[in-house]
Structures are given as C-alpha cells and as structure tokens.
A and B are shown apart, each in its own frame.
Chain A
Amino acid sequence: MRYLPLTDHDRRDMLSVIGAASIDDLFVDVPEAARLDGPVHGLPNHASELSVERHMTALARQNTVAGEVPFFLGAGAYRHHVPASVDHLIQRGEFLTAYTPYQPEIAQGTLQMLFEFQTQVARLLGTDVANASMYDGSTACWEAIGMARRITKRGKAILSAGLHPHYVSVAKTMAKYTGDVLDTTSPWLVPDMDVDRLIEKIDGDTSCVVVQYPDILGRIADLKPLADACHANKALLIAVVTEPVALGAIRSPGEMDADIVVGEGQSLGVGLQFGGPYVGLFGCKEKYVRQMPGRLCGETVDADGRRGFVLTLSTREQHIRREKATSNICTNSGLCALAFSIHMTLLGEAGLRQLAATNHANAVAAAERLAKVPGVSLVNDAFFNEFTLDLGQEARPIVRALADKGVLAGVSLGRLYPGEAELANGLVVAVTETVTQEDVEALATAIEEVLA
C-alpha cells in the first residue's frame, strides 16, 4: 500500500518492543462482538493510482463543465477566472498540510496570511474588523443572526425577501432550536428591493434586519435608510454579500452603516466546486468584536520584541468556554481564505475595480441583448453582474431545454422557490468576465428558439 511506510519486518520489530505477540493484542479492548473480521461489504481491495484515476475521471466526465459551454449561473456561486498562481501557491505543502496555528512560533505563515485576510475582508466589506473566516456564506449569515441576538438580547430577526432562499432555509432550521423568531417573505418580480417594507416591520422586539446586497434577483439599493431605521430602534443591520466582486464597483455595506456584514467569498480564488468548500466572510463594527463567532488572528510581539501573530480572543470559543461559547464552530475555512487572499492580493484595488467594471459592463450588455428577445423582459432597474429576466412562461423547463442545447442559462426561480407560481417565470442570469459576447448571443438565440 503506497501510503503506508511500515514493512512487515518493521511491524514485527515494533510489536516486540511493545511486548505484543500480534496486532490483535493491541485491539484487546474491542469486545469480540464488535470486531469486524471479514471484508467491508462491497468495497474492493487497494487500487493503483492509475485505476483510481480512471474511475474518478469517468465520474467527472458525466458532468457538464461550466467552462466548456456558454454559462450564466450565479445565485450564490459565481464563475470567475482564477489566476494560475493562486492554485499553485495554495498547494505548497507548508500551507496545504499545516494545521490550525496553535503553535504560533512555527505557524507565522498561516497567521500572517490570516491577519492580511482579515484586513482585506474588513476593507472590502467596510467594517472595522473581520474574522479568520467561517464555513460559508449561509452559515456565516446564521451566525450573524445569533450574534445580533446576543448583542441586543432580542429574538426577532427580519429577513429580507431578497435573501438567498438557502440562507433563509439554514436560518429557519437553526431558529427552530434557538427560539429566534424569523420574519420571512419570498421576493416579488419587481425592480425594487423591499427596503421600505423592511423599515415598516422594525419594532422594539427586532434584533436585526438581514438584507442581501446585491440580492437574490441581483437588485441593489442604498442601505443607509435601513441602517438608520434599525439604529433608531436599537436593532442591528446585517448585510449579506454573496458576490464580493460587486464591492469593487458598489458602495460597501459598512459605508452605509451596516453593523455586521457577512458574505460568501467563493468568487475570489476558490472556484465553483459544486458548492463547496467555500469561505464565509464575517466583519463587524469594532464594538461588537467580543460577540463574534469564529477564529480571530491578532498582532502581538515575541519574547525578542519582534512582531508576530497569534490566534486571539479565544475565550469566546468552544475549546475554552465549552457550553458557554459564542458558537460551536471550531474549524475555519483556512485554505479557501488563503486562496481568497492571494487572489485579492493579485488584483489589488486597481485590479478589483477593473474586474468589477468589466463584470458590470458585460452584464449590462447581456441584459440589453436578452431583453430584446421576444417575450423576455428585464426585471431589474439597478444591478451589478446578475439580473432577473421574466421569460413570460415557466423558466425551469426552459433551463432544462437550454441545457440540452449545450447552454447553461442561469438559475430558474422555480428551482429556488418551488411551488411559488408568481416566481416561476423568473430566470436569474449572472454575467462575469468569463462570459463572451458569443456566449450571450448563443444564450439569446437559444432562448428565442425555445420560446418560439
């Protein structure tokens, strides 16, 4: 077995040092009845690299690869070009095969990277501080709601209609067990976000308002009036960003006075990967830092007075506080955070702004072209790189028909909101820098053919 260095000779020598006659002597504590002596049902014996590679490659071939077709899916996961050096660097063994930096003297590489990541994320989101990452955007969103409850000591969260339905689902699951009351609604196919409606709902029991920006239909709106209304009622504004590239073009939620800003960082460095692993972004105002979940890296000095970094404020965390911790979260998404940070460093502010500008321009051009298809109309007024089309008939079968034509057209609202007839005609279309004019033309033509 190529991964196991011990030889039979070694094993015999070691057993004799231990004073055991056979390996079974080391498993004496396992009761007879619990020992598995036969083979594992159906699992073949060990296999060569080549044969495993064949098996996995055959599975991989059964999938339609996003990069090989005109591709327009978003809705919480975006296809961007990731520079070659990102994947090269995260595969350095010193990053890939390191552990959580509990021994800081020999983990400064990971720690300094996390400190840089935290700073990049805080600046991008417009918050004072950010943590060293969460599992993903959906779990970060729920953790933010829990944090708002701890800060305000209130249990009612108002979720915007434009919040990703999976994020709403996760919050509903968790709220069943924590007793939080969630006010939720599905979106309407209208140009405006539901900011005014949200403001009307805020009262003295509200812990927070959760608003996605850009929202699930790709819409954007000024969040400042919402933040003011929250603060007037001593509630918090939580903003959720599922497409961080947008913040290279539009004002950050922090600038508009959001108290907690969470996000899905997958767009930068990580890739689609069929939904995971991704990287949750989590920033907030400095005054709330001690109620934050997750790992935090902080600057300090070593015994010789040199700058260094450590994990800090761990008295919030489960390994110290056990049942009194701010969250049960243990691991972060370290390697994805590294990928995000490297990609962001390669971009820099100039590159990020350019990337965002290109995304927006491509999306505007695509929206204008697609709105010219007979029977199709554009729902959005303002948007970044994602918008919603009303196809005038149920979108889901159309998406399937387009897939048969080799075009991955977008995410139908029927998939995201099954059973909601008013949304069934909606198609959410994302257009990033990876989309060409030919792709847009292919999509427009294919929709036209299917609708005809």
Chain B
Amino acid sequence: MSINQSGWRPEMTVKGTDEAAPTFTGNKALMLEEALIFEIGSTETTGVEVAEPVTATSRLGNLARTAPIGLPGLSEPETVRHYTRLSRQNYAIDLGLFPLGSCTMKHNPRLNEKMARLPGFADVHPLQPVDTVQGALGVINELAVWLIELTGMHGVAMSPKAGAHGELCGILCIKAALEKRGEGYRKIVLVPESAHGTNPATAAFAGFQVEDIPATADGRVDTAALKARLGPDIAAVMITNPNTCGLFERDLKEISDAVHAAGGYVYCDGANFNAIVGRVRPGDLGVDAMHINLHKTFSTPHGGGGPGSGPVVLSEALAPFGPLPFTERHGDGHITLVEEETVEDRHPDSFGRMTAFHGQMGMFTRALTYILSHGADGLRQVAEDAVLNANYVLRSLEDVLDAPFGKAGPCMHEALFSDANLADGFSTLDVAKGLIDEGFHPMTVYFPLVVHGAMLVEPTETESKAALDQFIGALRSVAERAKAGDASLKSAPHFAPRARLDETLAARKPKLVWKEPAPVAQAAE
C-alpha cells in the first residue's frame, strides 16, 4: 500500500544489484546503533541541577562513601537521544498488531495514562493519614466493586503486584482455609498440563505437591480423569478458563461442584478473562479464587515486562482469609483501611500481608478509567470482538496451518496452530522469525506445551479488520514459505535490528553487567 495512488512515478535510475557498502557508523539510515551509557557517558557529566546543599555538619558517622561508584551521567539532550534511539529498536502495540497469545497485547488508552498522572493520585504517599487520601482509597474501593460485579464473586484482594503474585494470594487463601478447617493434610494441587508455568511454581511454593491432569483430544481438561482423582488429599485444582488452548472449559461448573463435594477448592487462572468479561461471571461457575491481570483484561500497559497488577477475586468461602490491607467503605461514605492494627477485629482469619503498602495504585487508576470508559456494554463488546477477531484468524488460516482443535468448534480469544504442516527441517521458530521480517511481532510460540510447535495467536479486540487482513496475509505467506522449504526463512529475521541471537552463549558465559574492557596495550602483549 502506497500513499501515492495517483499513478505518477518519478523518473528513476535503475537500481544496481550490488549490495550497499557497510556504513561507517554501522547505522542504516533510520536504523540507528546505540552504544551503552557506560561507553558514552562520564561520571562528571550530569543532566540534573540540584540546589547546593545548605551548610551543615555531616551526621553520616564514619560511613561517607569515598570510593568511586562508576555511574556514568549524560546531559539531558544526550539522555533523550539515548533512550529515544533505544526505543526505536523495540516492537510495540503502538507500531502494529502484537498477537502474543495469553499476553493480551491490546491498545493502551492514553486517557488512562493521563488519569494516573493526576497529582492527586501520582503525588500521594501511601502512609498519609487516611483522611487525606479518601480519593485514592475511593479508587481502590470503586475498582474493587466493579471487579466483584464483573466476576460474580464475594470479595477481592487488591494488593497482589502481578498475576503470579495473585496466584500466590489465591493459593495462600486456600491453604489458610484448609488449615482453619483442620484439613492441612490435603497436600495435592491438580494442575492441567496446559497450565501457565506460574501455576505449578506457585502451588509448590505454598508447600503443595503438584499433579498433572491430562487433557482430552479436544484440548480441554479430562473431566472424568479429574473427578476420578478427587479425594481427601486434594487441596485444590488450578484451571485456566478460557484455557491456554484458547478454549472454554465447558465442564468447569461440573468440575467445581465435584471438587467442592470432595472438600477442595477451585482456583481459576484469570489470565484470559478478557475473552469473557461482561458475558460470563466466573463466580457462576463455582470458582473460589481467580486473579485478574489488570495489564491484560483492563489494558494497563505492559511496559516492556511490567509492572503488572493481579487483584484476586474470592468466593464467600475464601474471602475471610484474604490478605491485608484492604479498604472498607462505611455508611457515611468514609473509607478506612484494614491493616495489622484492626485485623483482629475486622478480619481475624487473614493470612497476612503480601507486600508493603496497598498494591499497584497506578494500575488501579488506569484500570478504573478503562472500565468506566467501556462501561457494561463496552466490556461485553470487548469480549465479543476479541473472540470474533480470533475466530476470523483461525478460519482464515486453517487451510495453510494445522489447527489442532479447529474442527471441534470455535475458539475463544486466541487461535492455536501447530507445526504439523511445515516442511521437514522447518520449525515454529522459523515462522516466528519470518513474521518479524514482515513487520509483526510473532505470536506466542511453543506454548501451550500440549501442542507440538504451538503457535498461539491472540489478536485482541483493538485490531481493525484491515490490520487483521494484513496480518493474515503475512502469516499465510510465511507459512507457505515454511511449507515450501524456503531456506531463507532459516536465517530470518533479515531486516530486524539484530539477527538471531546466541542464547546458548549468553547462558554458558553469563555477562550480566558491563565491565570496562581490558586496555588494548595489555591485550596485545
């Protein structure tokens, strides 16, 4: 697609076939190489002016830092240029479709950023007297209410810092509830093979033993096998719904009822809540605890790998065990904090505190802004468009890529393909790297583990049909090259800031911090 659609063409000289000579700088026009701050900065340079200290006697005792620290500085223009150049070596949602399955890379509305930066939220200390932070507590409380309503649950723990931290919160609630019942002997947590790695890691951290639940041929939990395993040693099951194959676990209510009857609890990994928000309430499926990744469903920015935020909604059975602190709104509208001080009176069964302060306030502000912007109708449309877009991708590509569960029916918010149709010697990784050259971030690869060479595509609801069509065209083209055995795909990407990187070398000889290179003269000896 070109901007010039008039048909006019400049007279052009025929381009030679010779490769361009390498540039002096290593730059390629707008693709700019950038050195490390340790190579371009100096410890004398600063981009900040601080007021001269008032005269005062030092009270540092004998602890004054005298040895050099080795922190290079840059002036402001150099700093802006350094990070701007670095930024341009990143792919991002703002640049194009970012179909990472399970990660939900949707548009991050800028109003959310603006609201989080209001001084009334951004410049408030977590330990200010509660009378001076009623609006901040109001945000937490209001978001909590909507999360409870949207999930049909009884309570919510707001403080977990990320999804995995939320999982831990839910599992600790379960552990505390079992101990309260005198059933601390229940040691087994059942986790499907297709689960996120954080699920077994979390259960193991809390002292549980993890057992796999097998999957059926149609990509769902094997309900019969799960039920057969239930018994007095089962503490909980952890199920992702929609699951990591992008499918709705139809039997979840039946499973929940069976788990409850056997004395266990149901943890739902809510990473994929965005597919059902406004259409399905996990509380109606018998779920006891579910974390919500605010950075997925409610679009707080991923920021290159965090910060996340992982509030956990809880059933009536688990809510009494939730962590400190939390907010309580009283009849007159005044909001108080329940912390260690009042825990005995207000929340005696709490399992304790998971983090300093109140959780990811900056993310709460953004998520609340998102929820109010969308409203009940908009959120429902979010789920519907996310599912529609994923099914459109699935059906548009299943003739060229193997879709292991495609025949069984529609998917939810992500389309899963395997490497079955690729030529011998070609892998999912080659397809992913080929997509990079096409100007797209690859889909999630090799996850879930239950599908060979998995490619998990999650387009999200914030993509237009035109963007989807372009992506489908690109993936089709790459898939066809992989089926045809196009060798150039093996060395892709060719047009990215870097070619494939040697990860083995990085792990075998870890270089985790920059060190001054040895002087040249010494090296020559």
Contact of A136 among B70, B355, B496 (CB under 8 A): B355
- The distance in angstroms between the C-alpha atoms of A416 and B108, with both chains bound, is 37
Which of B82, B164, B196 is within 8 Å of A345, CB to CB? B82
If the complex has contacts A13-B465, A31-B253, A342-B79, are A250 and B513 also in contact, measured as CB distance less than 8 A?
A: no
- Whether A328 pairs with B167 at a CB distance below 8 angstroms is yes
Nearest chain B CB to A346 CB, angstrom units: 4
Residues in B neighbouring A73, C-beta threshold 8 A: 125, 127-128
**In whole angstroms, how far apart are the Cα atoms of A128 and B378 in the complex?**
50
B48 near A139 (CB under 8 angstroms)? no
Q: Is the CB of A328 within 8 A of B376?
A: no
- A330-363 contact mask (Cβ, 8 Å, vs B): 1 or 0: 1111111010001011111111101101101111
Whose C-beta in chain B lies nearest to the C-beta of A25?
B410
**Residues B87 and A95 in contact, CB atoms below 8 Å apart:** yes
| Distance between Cα atoms of A122 and B381 in the complex (Å) | 47
Which 8 residue pairs are nearest across A and B when measured between Cβ atoms? A348-B73, A60-B120, A275-B357, A335-B303, A93-B94, A62-B135, A275-B126, A173-B352
Chain B residues positioned under 8 Å from A129 (CB to CB):
512-513
Nearest CB on B from A409, distance (A) = 10
Q: Are B511 and A47 in contact (CB under 8 A)?
A: no
Q: Kindly list chain B residues whose C-beta atoms are within 8 Å of the C-beta of A152.
A: none
Contact status of A364 and B56, CB under 8 A, knowing A62-B138, A323-B200, A382-B63: yes
B122 on interface, CB distance cutoff 8 Å = yes
Do residues B410 and A89 form an inter-chain contact, with CB atoms below 8 A? Answer: no
Please state if A45 and B497 are interface contacts (CB–CB under 8 Å). no
Residues from chain A with a CB closer than 8 A to the CB of B505 are 300-301
- How many Å lie between the Cα of A264 and that of B161 in the bound state? 14
Q: Does A393 contact B (CB under 8 A)?
A: no
> With contacts A249-B65, A400-B129 known, what are 8 further pairs, Cβ within 8 A?
A26-B391, A95-B303, A165-B340, A177-B175, A220-B60, A296-B512, A308-B498, A313-B510
Measured between C-beta atoms, what is the minimum distance from B118 to chain A in Å?
A: 4
Min CB distance A111 to B, Å, is 9
In the complex where A67-B123, A94-B94 touch, is A347 in contact with B64 (Cβ < 8 A)? no
Contact A276 B304 (CB under 8 A): no
B462 touches A4 (CB 8 A): yes
Interface check A110, CB cutoff 8 A: yes
A182 within 8 A of B: no
Q: How many A-B residue pairs have CB under 8 A?
A: 726
Given A17-B392, A299-B511, CB of A346 within 8 Å of CB of B205: no
B363 within 8 A of A: yes
What is the CA–CA distance of A20 and B389 in the complex, to the nearest angstrom? 13
> CB within 8 A of A347: which of B46, B115, B207?
B46
Chain B residues within 8 Å of A346, by CB = 46-48, 73-74, 76, 79
- Tell yes or no: B500 within 8 A of A by CB: yes
Task: Produce 1/0 per residue, B152-190, CB < 8 A to A.
Answer: 100000000111110110001001000000000000000
Say whether A76 faces chain B, with CB atoms less than 8 Å apart. Answer: yes
A98-116 vs B: 1/0 string, CB under 8 Å?
Answer: 1111111111111011011
B59 shortest CB reach to chain A, Å: 5
Q: Which residue of B lies closest to A367 (CB)?
A: B59
Tell me whether B117 is interfacial, beta carbon within 8 Å.
yes
B473 within 8 A of A: no
Question: A28, B46: Cβ atoms under 8 Å?
Answer: no
Q: B129 — nearest CB in chain A belongs to which residue?
A: A403
Shortest B364–chain A CB gap in Å is 9
Query: A153 near B: Cβ within 8 Å?
Result: no
Residues of chain A with a CB closer than 8 A to B37's CB? 116, 345
Given A177-B206, A276-B362, CB of A358 within 8 Å of CB of B51: yes
The complex places the Cα of A17 from the Cα of B395 at a distance, in Å, of: 7
In the complex, what residue of chain A is closest to B250 when comparing beta carbons? A29
Interface size class of B (residues with CB under 8 A): 35 or more
Inter-chain CA distance A405–B353, complex, in Å, is: 32
Query: Which chain A residue lies CB-closest to B373?
Result: A52
A439 on the B face (CB < 8 A):
no
Chain A residues in 8 Å Cβ range of B513: 115, 118-119, 122-123, 128-130
Check if A29 sits within 8 Å of B510, measured CB to CB.
Answer: no
Contact status B121-A92, CB under 8 Å: no
Given A20-B410, A333-B307, A347-B71 contact (CB < 8 Å): yes
Q: Which residue of chain B has the shortest Cβ distance to A300 in the bound complex?
A: B506
| Docked complex: A74-97 residues within 8 A CB-CB of B | 75-77, 79, 83, 85, 87-97
A354 partner, pick from B50, B108, B109, B365, beta carbons under 8 A: B50
| Chain B 92-150 residues near chain A, CB threshold 8 A | 92-95, 98, 100, 103, 105, 107-109, 111, 113-129, 131-136, 138-139, 142, 145-146, 149-150
Docked Cα-Cα span, A138 to B325, in Å, equals 14
Contacts of B470 in A (CB 8 A): none
Interface centre among B125, B198, B281, B387 (most CB of A within 10 A): B125
Cβ of B73 and Cβ of A60 under 8 Å apart?
no
Q: Kindly state the separation between the CA atoms of A109 and B138 in the bound complex, as whole angstroms.
A: 37
Cβ contact within 8 Å between B121 and A76:
no
What are 30 A-B residue pairs whose CB atoms fall within 8 Å in the complex?
A1-B381, A4-B462, A6-B465, A10-B465, A17-B396, A29-B412, A33-B253, A34-B285, A40-B278, A43-B150, A44-B372, A46-B377, A53-B114, A98-B90, A108-B497, A116-B37, A137-B356, A177-B205, A250-B65, A273-B122, A277-B362, A302-B498, A319-B447, A321-B201, A328-B201, A346-B79, A348-B71, A382-B60, A383-B59, A400-B129
Chain A residues, CB < 8 A from B500: 105, 302-303
CB-nearest residue of chain A relative to B162?
A331
Partner of B202, one of A64, A93, A296, A328: A328
| Residue in B129, B139, B514 whose CB lies within 8 Å of A116 | B514
Interface flag for B18 (CB, 8 Å): no
Q: How far is the CB of B250 from chain A (nearest CB, A)?
A: 5
How near does chain B come to A91, taking the closest CB pair, in angstroms?
7
Docked complex Cα distance between A60 and B132 (Å):
11
The answer on a CB contact under 8 Å between A249 and B388 is: no
Q: Given A169-B340, A251-B64, answer yes or no on A274-B206 (Cβ-Cβ < 8 Å).
A: no
